[in-house]
Structure 1
Amino acid sequence: MRTSPSPANRFFALTGGPGAGKTTLIRHLAALGHAVAPESARAVIRAQGGRPPPSRFCELILARDVETYRAALGLTFFDRGVVDAWATFGAYGLAPSPAAETAVRTLRYHPRAFIAPPWKAIYVQDAERDQTWDEAVATYEACAEAYLAQGYELVELPRADVAARAAFVLEAVA
């Protein structure tokens, strides 16, 4: 009897600092017909009418990421994910909650995660992306550390237009 592959083998995380083109890439992949999972932090900020206090913000992001993970089926590209939520606790100087520790250990993505490097030419701030350029670079570094700490291999996205980035990702997952 043939067994079906685990979700982790068909779930691909895209990580990196803010303003590096992850969401643009996710939207492009969706337009090409691929299943995608949106970033949770922006959704939380919109739903809360602003950035909530750090511990609440971390828990809300984690809850959305866990829900999104559990709802996904087949090949899915995630705009950030459970590992990023786990890392967000540390970014705020907080110990990850027991729920975050369990999630990062049990809800696994494909062993290769894509990371968008800081790219000053496309970085912009807005009402939801309030980090400075230096904070964006620090976030990128924290994301890289988190994924490596959780045993993922990082594949850096090229600094290229969205179509080229999508082609790079799709070739890598084929």
Structure 2
Amino acid sequence: MGETKLFVITGGPGVGKTTLLKALERKGFCVVSEDARKIIQEQMKTNGNGLPWKDKSFYAELMFTASLESYQLIVNETSEGTVFFDRGLLDTICYMKMENISIPEQISYLVNANPYNKKVFILPPWEEIYETDNERKQTWKEAVYTFEKMKQTYLEYGYEVIEVPKNTIDNRCEFVLSHIR
């Protein structure tokens, strides 16, 4: 772990991950969008049960499968260059821990068999920019708790968690890039 150029940008909901990733993409980097929002949108459209407010275990299964497929697609298609992921496989592990869903041995194995760079960028809770919407229903308190658990999960799996300061998007972008050069 650590040699790969596959970087995770994570954190609780509504902390500016997508905005940061779009800025990195504008700078020419490959960015992999998160799967959770897409899953929620699709499940809502089809009246499916794979939603965090319906069937949390099924939602976690859908999320992990989609994240693993995204990871493997990038690994198979991208031989060089830096890639930023909007959340990683461990985000699903964190969700499962938070919801007291048992984590199958196979999922733990797959997480370890598909590593990212050892440096993981985490964005802290930022109340001034936090908003809820149709897919993001967590309260501010839940968002803070998610950040704490996310940080703990990545540390438990041996990653170096680097907190991205609350700042302008340009400064946040430069902060991340200064740590991967």
TM-score w.r.t. the length of structure 2 is 0.89
1:126 aligned onto 2:128: no
Letter matched to residue 67 of structure 1 = E
Gapped regions of structure 1 (runs ≥ 5)? 1-5
SS at match of 1:9: coil
Identical residues among aligned pairs (%): 37
- What stretches of structure 1 move > 4 A for 4+ residues in a row? none
Separation in 1 of the partners of 2:115 and 2:3? 5
Matching residue of 1:53: 55
Q: CA deviation at 1:91?
A: 1.4
Paired positions, count: 169
Separation in 2 of the partners of 1:131 and 1:159? 20
Gapped regions of structure 2 (runs ≥ 5)? none
1:116 aligned onto 2:123: yes
Match of 2:112 among 97, 105, 128: 105
* Greater Cα offset, 71-80 or 43-52: 43-52
Matching residue of 2:96: 89
Matching residue of 1:3: none
TM-score w.r.t. the length of structure 1 is 0.92
8 Å contact kept, 1:112–1:155: yes
Letter matched to residue 104 of structure 1 = V
Separation in 2 of the partners of 1:119 and 1:55? 28
8 Å contact kept, 2:33–2:85: yes
Match of 2:31 among 31, 36, 56: 36
Separation in 2 of the partners of 1:100 and 1:164? 36
1:145 aligned onto 2:140: no
SS at match of 2:162: strand
